[in-house]
């Protein structure tokens, strides 16, 4: 997964795979989903990112630990 912010066009892209984009749909205003030939989402784009998030130039990555069940 790769996250790219382009301040010139104010678009934040989250690339989920290296697959070729066959189709793009603006699912909601400002949110574009890119699909491969099999209909899998390969990327998403947030248009006007600086207006939709606090700081598109900052990315935090976290892995949530699974819950441990009592023995």
Side-chain-side CA neighbours of residue 19 (13 Å):
17
Residue 43 burial (CB count, 10 A): 21
pLDDT at residue number 70: 73
Which of 52, 34, 50, 32 has the alpha carbon at shortest distance from 42? 34
pLDDT at residue number 65: 87
Is residue 8 packed enough to be buried (19+ CB in 10 Å), middle (13-18) or exposed (0-12)? exposed
Q: Where are the domains of the chain?
A: 2-52
pLDDT at residue number 50: 94
> pLDDT tens digits, residue range 5-64?
999 999 999 999 988 999 999 989 999 999 999 999 999 999 999 999 889 888 888 888
DSSP label of 54? S
pLDDT at residue number 61: 85
């Amino acid at each position: 997964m790769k996250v790219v912010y382009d301040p010139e066009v104010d678009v934040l892209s989250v690339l989920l795979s290296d697959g070729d984009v066959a189709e793009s749909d603006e699912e909601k205003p400002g949110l574009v989903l890119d699909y491969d030939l099999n209909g899998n989402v390969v990327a998403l784009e947030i248009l006007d990112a600086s207006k939709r998030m606090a700081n598109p130039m900052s990315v935090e990555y976290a892995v949530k630990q699974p819950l441990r069940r009592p023995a």
